[in-house]
Structure 1
Amino acid sequence: MTVDGPASATTVLRRTVLLVAVINLAYFGIEVVVAVAIGSVALLADSVDFLEDTAVNVLIALALGWSLAARARVGRVLAIVILLPAIAVVVQLVLKVGDPQAPAALPLMLAAAGAAVVNLVCALLLARIRAAGGSMVGAAWLAARNDVVINLAIVAMGVITLWIGTGWPDIVLGTLIVVLNGRAALEVWRLAGEESLAARALEGDDLDDD
């Protein structure tokens, strides 16, 4: 990837994260339809993760070139964006526990395999720019990479569901994905806190110089 200066580098970064956002949004639409149709909590939680990744990458595009203080504020917004949709999945989990029917395994596995491919593509796109994109792009890359593992776990869960014929594997994995989303929110909040402290330190340096 060749750039001619800071402005060109920012343009490349912004275009890349926006492309990743569009890809995530498109697959969110596919996965949420399949999840609702087959009654899979794990797949629903994973579809929410695609929506979260869409929001994260859009906000990263908006934040590129901003000050550390502004990026810290955006980071806190990201944390909230990651955490709030998980509430809807928690509600579905509670309902599923009361009626643990097994989701249709074949469409579950196909949707999860497709999600793994999509997340791998996004991880490769973000890997090209993560060194120049700062902590937020690095966090987005880590999320996409980790999502591939989750998608493969859903495929494995589909195989187990075929074997035992109940919805409990779906419930257990759905719970795990919700917990991971909560941890991701905390990590983004921590990174935002670090950038806020760095911004304050820079302001202190400026005051000292004056």
Structure 2
Amino acid sequence: MSTHCPSTRCHSSVASGHDHGAAFDGMSAGYRRALIWVLVLNGGMFVIEMLAGALAGSRALQADALDFLADSLTYGLSFWVLGKPLRWRSYAALAKGVSLLLIGGWVLGSTLWEAFTVHQPQPEVMGVIGLLALAANVASVLILLRYRDGDANVRSVWLCSRNDAIGNVAVLGAAGLVAWLGSGWPDLLVAGAMAGLFLHSATLILRQALRELRSGGSG
């Protein structure tokens, strides 16, 4: 049976006085609305930031734009599997974990490649777009804050949103350092750090999804 609690964790009392938590599966009207809002925010920011990253010549902005794309796909897939059996939701989380691995690998590889031809991106564009992206991500984090725990499907949504907020703060820091130092290295270093964050989050998602699959849950 699906859990329809408004918080991130449902608890049922037993005679011994202990609570046994059932991971929140996203089955609430509030969570569905939250997914729709963050899907719209992230989809729009992917288009804006990818264009701005190409214009500014910023690898960090492009990496962050790809994170927005991954999040948009994540939110869409998460919405689609709501209410479906745990195995379906776990497979969806696996797919999202693999996509994060691929994006993290691409960002890391392209950043290493760019290291051989370092150029200075436009810090003004990086700063303006970074602030806009940060506002969108802070809004997403606040919308999803109460849903930060749950099954692998729900948790993957939170991790992606958290990554975005961290990434945007890093992009703003890189923009400041690029302007101050007159060098493109801060941009590349931030892109590399974001790649590491993607890979770490992918590992967390994949581990939880595999645990759920091994548990044999069918609800």
Q: Distance in 2 between matches of 1:85 and 1:142?
A: 15
Q: 2:181 aligns with which of 156, 164, 171?
A: 164
The answer as to whether partners of 2:152 and 2:209 remain within 8 angstroms in 1 is no
- Structure 1 residues 106, 61: closer, same or farther in 2, change over 3 A? same
Deviation at 1:130, TM superposition (A): 4.3
What are the Cα deviations for residues 99-126 of structure 1, in whole angstroms up to 9, with x where unaligned?
A: 2111100110111111111111111111
Residue pair 2:134, 2:168 contacting (<8 A) in 1 also: yes
Is there any run of 5+ residues in structure 1 with no aligned partner, and where? 4-8, 204-210
Query: How far off its partner does 1:95 sit?
Result: 3.5
- In structure 1, the residue matched to 2:22 is none
**1:165-193 deviation digits (Å, cap 9, x = unpaired):** 11111111111111111111111111111
Partner residue of 1:60?
78
Shift of the 142–81 alpha-carbon distance from structure 1 to 2, 3 Å rule, reads closer
Match of 1:184 among 194, 197, 201: 201
Give unmatched runs, 5+ long, in structure 2.
7-26
Match of 1:207 in 2: none
Distance in structure 2 (CA, Å) of the matches to 1:59 and 1:40: 29
8 Å contact kept, 1:32–1:44: yes
- Asked if residue 70 in structure 1 is aligned to residue 85 in structure 2, the reply is no
- 1:43 is aligned to 2:61: yes
| Alignment deviations for residues 16-40 of structure 1 (CA, whole Å, 9 cap, x no partner) | 2122112101000000001111111
TM-score of the superposed pair, with normalisation by structure 1: 0.83
Matched positions, count: 195
1:115 maps to which residue? 133
Deviations 1:127-180 (A, max 9, x none): 24446x644223322332342222112111111111111111111111111111
Q: Larger % of strand: which?
A: 2
Distance 1:145 1:60 in 2: 16
- Pairing of 1:136-147 with structure 2 (within 5 A): 136-147=153-164
Taking structure 2 as the reference length, the TM-score comes to 0.80
% identity of equivalent residues: 27
Rounded to whole Å, the distance in 1 between the matches of 2:172 and 2:213 is 40
Query: Structure 2 CA distance, aligned partners of 1:88 and 1:134?
Result: 27
SS of the residue aligned with 2:180? helix
1:208 aligned partner = none
What is the RMSD computed on CA atoms of the aligned residues? 2.2
Secondary structure (helix, strand or coil) at the match of 1:84 reads helix
Q: Which residue of 2 aligns with 1:6?
A: none
Does the residue aligned with 1:166 lie in a helix, a strand or coil? coil
Give the aligned residue type for 1:35: G
Deviates more, 1:11-20 or 1:47-56: 11-20
Q: Distance in 1 between matches of 2:166 and 2:202?
A: 18
